[in-house]
Each structure stands twice: as structure tokens, then as C-alpha cells.
Amino acid sequence: METYEAMRAFADSWGMLAMLAFFIVAIAFTLRPGAKKHADAAAQIPLKED
């Protein structure tokens, strides 16, 4: 059970920090200046007729 306990401790500490960092980066990437133009273009893709 030592391996399980070590992995559990890692996930509780560093794993949570890694997920928090990923979440913050994802939000910052989405809300960055200039993202609106790309988001609007991506939103129109299903409506385009080829």
C-alpha cells in the first residue's frame, strides 16, 4: 500500500496545483485580448455553406 499512499499524497498536493494552473491558463487564454475575433470565426464554422 505504500505506492497507493504515495500516489494519493502526490495527487492531493501537486495534482491539484497542476489542475488549478491548467484552469487558470485556459481561462486566461480564452479571455486574452484578440481572442474575440478567433472565437467569432470558430462560432461561424457550422453555419458556413461549402
Q: What would the pLDDT profile of 11-50 be if each residue is shown by its tens digit?
A: 888 988 999 999 999 999 989 988 888 889 999 999 988 6
Q: 33 — phi, psi (to 5°)? A: -65, 140
Task: Pinpoint the alpha helices (H) of 11-49.
Answer: 16-30, 35-43
Under 8 Å between Cβ of 35 and 29: yes
This prediction has a pTM of: 0.60
In this predicted structure, what is the pLDDT of residue 27? Answer: 95
Residues 6+ apart with CB under 8 A from 35: 29
Q: Give the amino acid at 1.
A: M
DSSP 48: -
